[in-house]
Amino acid sequence: MVYKSICAVKGVTAYGVKEGKFGLALIRASGTAAGVFTENLAKAAPIELMRKQIKSGKLEAVIANSGCANAYTGKRGYEDAVTMTEYAGSALGVDATSVGVASTGVIGRYLDLSLIRRQCADVALKLTSNPDAEDRTVHAIMTTDTRPKHALVKNESFTIGAIAKGSGMIAPNMGTMLSFIYTDAQIEAKPLKEALKLAAQRTFNRVVVDGDMSTNDIALCTATGDAGKVNEKEFSLALEACCRSLAQQIAADGEGASKLLEVTVRGAPKEAAAAKVARVVIESPLVKTAVYGEDPNWGRVIAAAGRAGVKFDPNAVSLWISDGNNQYPLVKSGEIIADLTKAKAAMHGNKVIFVLDLGAGKEEATAWGCDLTEKYVEINGRYTT
């Protein structure tokens, strides 16, 4: 078996179990840690707890459950999140305050602590660093995901491995996404936090499936230090590459999705402006449905860009469409030159790319999403029943 993610990092052991909709995963690794979290005001109990615990800049382990989000559960929910860390701490022989906790699933339901306690005790006995553990761990935290998400970046001096779950309620400022990232790099808490924040900004925060924002988003990164000191800039770029892989996988596995949608905006006055335009285009229902129907209605891309709140001259833009192999021009400096037959052909595969040049600067950014299909309505119309 071949390593695909976290267990390729020295010092990491993991395992997970899934019983129907209810899963539990444990990951053991000691080191410097940082986290990024949802910006939703209705934060889930695990998020409230972790925003406090991560301030220590160190983690010994992570416990995560699926099937219940433990969100909008008040004081009891917060106490239950603490209890989860105590279960993991007791089972692994570590301080509960150094245990990361995350939950995903239905909002407004209380945790089944007896189930979690039993699962935790069982999983703790099976922690291992073999490749099978990576799949068992990520499957344990999946909800509407149709496939696991793994990422692995290796270079001469260090390794970064990560897993994630995420499929719906995906929007800028993170979506229904749990991600656990591990590296053997030796890096202090402050630069690790800065690197993770930048990576999330350029990857996770540029994924849009349906425009909703979850209550439970969390990405935790733990650095064991086994590989020794690293170049911080080199590490930051590698971490971004790792997170980008997960972001693309999440977008491609959007609920009901049949196509990955990628939008790159160039020629913007600032990177933030380019990212804003790209996100607005990605989240447009009209763009998403056109992509699903393989309808080369590229005017919707221009229209969406125009309402993003970024100043540019619509008569100066250029636009291309691509399937990842072939790229065709649609507009050049405001002049329509589209070959709709070729444009439609570029939409037949499982990936559709738009490249938009605003002609208003030198900065660029890319965002990822998916098409909008009938299946999305089927999944979410009966999510709790």
Q: In whole angstroms, give the CA distance from residue 56 to residue 63.
A: 17
Mapped onto helix, strand or coil, the DSSP state of residue 281 is helix
Contact 43, 62 (CB under 8 A): no
Tokens in use for 298?
């590229």
Tokens in use for 92?
């692994």
Amino acid at 170: I
Report CA Rg, the chain. 21
Mapped onto helix, strand or coil, the DSSP state of residue 334 is coil
Contact 64, 180 (CB under 8 A): yes
104 catalytic per annotation: no
Which of the following is catalytic: 85, 143, 176, 224?
176
Q: Which of 145, 245, 151 is nearest to 202 (CA)?
A: 245
Measured CA distances, 360 to 265, 268, 279, 310, 363 (Å): 11, 5, 18, 10, 9
Q: For residue 18, what is the enclosing H or E element?
A: strand 13-19
What DSSP character marks residue 20? T
Catalytic residues: 176
